[in-house]
Amino acid sequence: MLDSIAGLFSNDLAIDLGTANTLVYAKGKGMICSEPSVVAVADEKRGRGERVLAVGHQAKEMVGRTPGSIRAVRPIKEGVIADFEITEAMLRYFIQRAHNRSKLVRPRIVICVPPCITSVEKRAVRESALSAGAREVFLIEEPMAAAIGAGLDVTAPTGNMVVDIGGGTTDVAVISLAGIVTSRSIRTGGDKMDEGIINYVKRKYNMLVGERSAEAVKMQIGCASPQTKTMSMELKGRDLVNGIPKVVVTNNEEMREALLEPIHSIIETVHLTLERTPPELAADIVDRGIMLVGGGSLLRDLDVLLREETKLPILRSEDPFTAVAHGAGKVLDNLPLLRDVAIS
Ligand SMILES: Nc1ncnc2c1ncn2[C@@H]1O[C@H](COP(=O)(O)OP(=O)(O)OP(=O)(O)O)[C@@H](O)[C@H]1O
Ligand SMILES: [Mg+2]
C-alpha cells in the first residue's frame, strides 16, 4: 500500500551501471544524468565507518589525488559490483538526484548487467538497488539494451551482432527473437587499454604515469591500426629511477604498440563468437553487419581493423556511450518488451 503510494510520485528509472560511467534515464524525462562511476569516501573519526563525500564528476577529479583519509573508489570493477556498500550509496545518490533529492520516492528500476553475470552477482545488483530505495528491480542484459538503443529490431527472427566495448568488459552477443543466442564477454575494455599504456611507458621510458593521463593519451592519439600521419603528445609522470617528475613525448605508433594486446583479445572474442553462431544467423550478420557500441569503440580505427579482420560491415551507433541506457529507457516505456527481455 505504502509502496504503491510512493510509486505514484516517482519516475521509473533505467540505469546503466557501468565500470566507467553510470547513466540514468527517467521515464517521461529522457536521459537525466551521465557521470563517472566513482565515489569519494572519507574515514569517519573514531572508527565509525565511512562517509560519502562526492559522487560522479567531482569524485573522479579526486582519483589518484587524495590524502590518506579520503579514498576515491570505483565500486564497479570489470562490469560487476566489487564494493556492495559503495554501489548502494552511488545508486541512492542517482535515485535521489533523479527525484530532486526527495528521500520518499520508490521508483521501479531497470538495471543493465553484463551477460556473464553470476547469480550471486545478480543478487548483489538487485539488493543494492532495493536498499537504495527501488520498489521493484528488473535486470536486462547490456547487449540486449545496447541493440535496442542502437535501433535494431531485437524481436525479429533475424540475427544481430552487437559488440559493446566498455571500460571494464567487452561483450559480444548475437541476438534474435528478443533473446541472446550466443554471447561471450571478456574482462578487457578501456581500462585494460589504459593499463597497456601504463606498462608500455614503464618499460620504454622508465616512467610511471597515472590512470587518468594514460586514458587521456589513449583518447587523443591511441589507435588500432597504423596511421599515415604521425601525432605526438606529451606525457607527464614520475621517473622510476630518480623519482623526479618528468615529461616524455610519445606518438600514435607507440600507442598502437601499447594497445596491441587488449585489442587482440577483443578481435579474438568477436571471431570466437562468430564461430559459434548458427549458420542462418551468421548469414544475417553478413548482410547486416556488426554494431559497435561502448566508449572503447571510439578508439581510432578500431572499426577499420575489425572490418579487415572479419570482412564484415561494421556499423557504429550514433552515440556509443548512451546506447545501453537509451535501450533500457525504451524498454521502460514498453512493458511487454520489458517482460520479454528481462532476465530472472
Ligand atoms: N575517444 C576514445 N577513444 C578510446 N577510448 C575511449 C574514448 N572515449 C572514451 N573511451 C573509453 O571508453 C570507456 C568507457 O566506455 P563506457 O562508458 O561505454 O564504459 P562503461 O559502460 O562504463 O563500462 P562497462 O560497460 O565495461 O561496465 C573508458 O575506458 C574510456 O577511456
Ligand atoms: Mg557499458
Give the residue-averaged pLDDT of 308-333: 94
Distance CA 194, CA 198 (A): 6
Residue 72 is predicted with a pLDDT of: 87
Q: 6 pLDDT exceeds 60? A: no
Question: How would residue 3 be classed by pLDDT, with cut points 50, 70 and 90?
Answer: low
| Ligand number nearest to the C-alpha of 221 | 1
Cα 263 from chain centroid?
17
Question: How would residue 80 be classed by pLDDT, with cut points 50, 70 and 90?
Answer: confident
Q: 337 pLDDT exceeds 90? A: yes
Sequence-distant contacts of 265-268: CB under 8 A, at least 24 apart: 265/170, 265/186, 265/188, 265/192, 266/163, 266/165, 266/170, 266/186, 266/188, 266/296, 266/302, 267/305, 267/306, 267/309
Distance from Cα 45 to the centre of ligand 2, integer Å? 36
Q: Which CATH fold would you assign to the domain 194-254?
A: Actin; Chain A, domain 4 (3.90.640)
Distance CA 344, CA 247 (A): 52
Distance from Cα 100 to the centre of ligand 2, integer Å? 25
Do 194-254 and 152-188+261-318 have the same topology in CATH? Answer: no
Q: Per mean pLDDT, which range of 73-77, 193-197, 275-279 is the poorest?
A: 73-77
With CA atoms as reference, report the closest residue to 171 among 196, 194, 198, 140: 140
- Pocket flag, ligand 1, residue 167 (CB < 6 Å): yes
CATH number for the 2-35+80-144+324-341 domain, one of 3.90.230.10, 3.30.420.40, 3.40.50.1980, 3.20.20.70? 3.30.420.40
Give the residue-averaged pLDDT of 88-92: 90
**pTM score > 0.85 for this model?**
yes
Residue 241: helix, strand or coil by DSSP? coil
- Pocket flag, ligand 1, residue 15 (CB < 6 Å): no
Distance CA 180, CA 341 (A): 9
Give the residue-averaged pLDDT of 163-172: 95
- Pocket flag, ligand 1, residue 20 (CB < 6 Å): yes
Give the residue-averaged pLDDT of 39-65: 82
Domains of the chain: which residue ranges? 2-35+80-144+324-341, 38-73, 152-188+261-318, 194-254
Residue 308 is predicted with a pLDDT of: 97
Query: Which residue type sits at 125?
Result: V
Question: How would residue 4 be classed by pLDDT, with cut points 50, 70 and 90?
Answer: low
Q: Distance between the two ends of the chain, CA-based, in angstroms?
A: 25
- Pocket flag, ligand 1, residue 189 (CB < 6 Å): yes
- Pocket flag, ligand 1, residue 115 (CB < 6 Å): no
Residue 133 is predicted with a pLDDT of: 87
- Pocket flag, ligand 1, residue 56 (CB < 6 Å): no
Q: 184 pLDDT exceeds 70? A: yes
Please give the residue that has the higher pLDDT: either 304 or 83: 304
- Pocket flag, ligand 1, residue 213 (CB < 6 Å): no
Distance from Cα 166 to the centre of ligand 2, integer Å? 5
Give the residue-averaged pLDDT of 39-67: 82
Distance CA 22, CA 79 (A): 11
| Ligand number nearest to the C-alpha of 219 | 1
Distance CA 174, CA 72 (A): 36
Please give the residue that has the higher pLDDT: either 317 or 249: 249
Residue 117 is predicted with a pLDDT of: 82
Paired strand residues for 40 = 54, 72
Q: Per mean pLDDT, which range of 45-49, 73-77, 236-240 is the poorest?
A: 45-49
Residue with cell 606525457: 235
Distance from Cα 19 to the centre of ligand 2, integer Å? 7
Residue 167 is predicted with a pLDDT of: 93
* Residues written for the chain: 344
Residue closest by Cα to atom 24 of ligand 1: 166
- Pocket flag, ligand 1, residue 133 (CB < 6 Å): no
Residue 10 is predicted with a pLDDT of: 63
- Pocket flag, ligand 1, residue 168 (CB < 6 Å): yes
Distance from Cα 324 to the centre of ligand 2, integer Å? 7
CATH number for the 152-188+261-318 domain, one of 3.40.50.720, 3.30.420.40, 2.30.42.10, 3.40.50.1100? 3.30.420.40
Q: Which atom of ligand 1 is nearest to the CA of 170?
A: 26
Residue closest by Cα to atom 1 of ligand 1: 219
- Pocket flag, ligand 1, residue 219 (CB < 6 Å): yes
Cα 156 from chain centroid?
26
| Ligand number nearest to the C-alpha of 215 | 1
Q: Which three cell numbers, joined as nine digits, stand for 101?
A: 533529492
Q: Which atom of ligand 1 is nearest to the CA of 164?
A: 25
Please give the residue that has the higher pLDDT: either 124 or 273: 273
Per residue in 125-152, pLDDT tens?
Answer: 899 899 888 999 999 999 999 999 999 9
Paired strand residues for 35 = 22
Q: 67 pLDDT exceeds 90? A: no
**DSSP assigned state of 223:** B
Per residue in 168-179, pLDDT tens?
Answer: 999 999 999 999
Please give the residue that has the higher pLDDT: either 97 or 254: 254
C-alpha dist (Å) from residue 244 to 81, 91, 237: 36, 40, 9
Question: How would residue 8 be classed by pLDDT, with cut points 50, 70 and 90?
Answer: low
